[in-house]
Amino acid sequence: MSLAQRDAALPQSVPAGAAVARILPFAVFIGLMALEQVVKSLAPALDLRWMYALRIGAALLALAAFARAYVELTDFVAVTARAWAQGALAGGAVFAAWIALDQSWAGGGGDGFDATAGDGSIDWALVTLRLFGAVAVVPLMEELFWRSFILRWIARRDFLNQAPAAVGLRALLVSSLLFGVEHELWLAGIVAGLAYGWLYMRAGSLWVVVAAHATTNLLLGIWVLATGNWRLW
C-alpha cells in the first residue's frame, strides 16, 4: 500500500479505541517502571534489573493485542531505501547530540542500567535483554505514542485524519517538550523529540521515525558498552 493509498483509506472518524491502542503499551511500560522504583525503595538490596524483561514483555503483549489498530504501520513496503537511510542518519545525529548534551545542568544524575555482574564483568544476558528492548520494542512503542498519537492529537483530536506534514510548529514544540520531560537528560530528550517529530513530518511514515529512534538507541547502547557509562542507559 502506498502512502497516498493509506491516507485515502483512513476512516473519517477515529474509532474509540484508537487512542487507547497507542497509549496503553506506553502506559504499561511506564507504570511498571514506577513500580520498580517503589520496590527498589522498599527493598534496596534486591536486584531488580531483570524486571526490565517484565516491562518489555508487557509492552510487547499490549502492542500485539492492538496490532490491527496501527494503520500508520501498514506502509512498511512503501518506504524507500532512501527514506530508511534518512532515518538512520537522523538517528545517528540524535545520538551525537545526546552524548554532547550529557551535562549536569541538562539533567541526568540517575543510576541508569548497570549490566555488570558481581565481579565487575559484563553480564551479556542483561546486555542482550536491554539492547533488544531499547532497539526493537521501545522505539515502536514510543513512536506510536509520542509521534503518531500525541504529536497529531495536539494538532487535531481525530488524529488519524491528521497528515504528519501538516501538524504545525505548536504541536511539534509541545510534544517535544513533553518528550524531553520523560527523560533524565531532558534537554537531549527535547532535541530528540524535535528531530523525530520533524522527521515524521517530512517522511510521512512512522517506520522511518522508528528506524531513527532504533538507530539512536543502538548507538547509545554501543557507546555505553564501550565506555562503561551505565548512567546513560
Mean pLDDT, consecutive 10-residue segments, the chain of 233 residues? 47 74 98 94 92 97 98 96 98 98 85 90 96 98 98 96 97 98 95 98 98 98 96 92
pLDDT at 15: 73
Q: Which domain holds residue 173?
A: 3-232
Predicted TM-score (pTM) of the model is: 0.91
User: How many domains is the chain built from?
Assistant: 1
Residue 122 pairs in a beta bridge with: 116
Tell me the pLDDT tens digit for each residue of 91-101: 999 999 999 99
**Is 68 exposed, middle or buried, given 0-12, 13-18 or 19+ CB atoms closer than 10 A?**
exposed
The alpha-helical segments, DSSP class H, found in the chain are: 3-9, 18-42, 51-65, 81-100, 124-132, 138-143, 152-155, 169-181, 186-203, 206-227
Tell me the pLDDT tens digit for each residue of 9-30: 444 456 779 999 999 999 999 9
Cβ–Cβ under 8 Å, residues 75 and 5: no
Torsion of CA 211, 5, 8, 67, to 10 degrees: -50
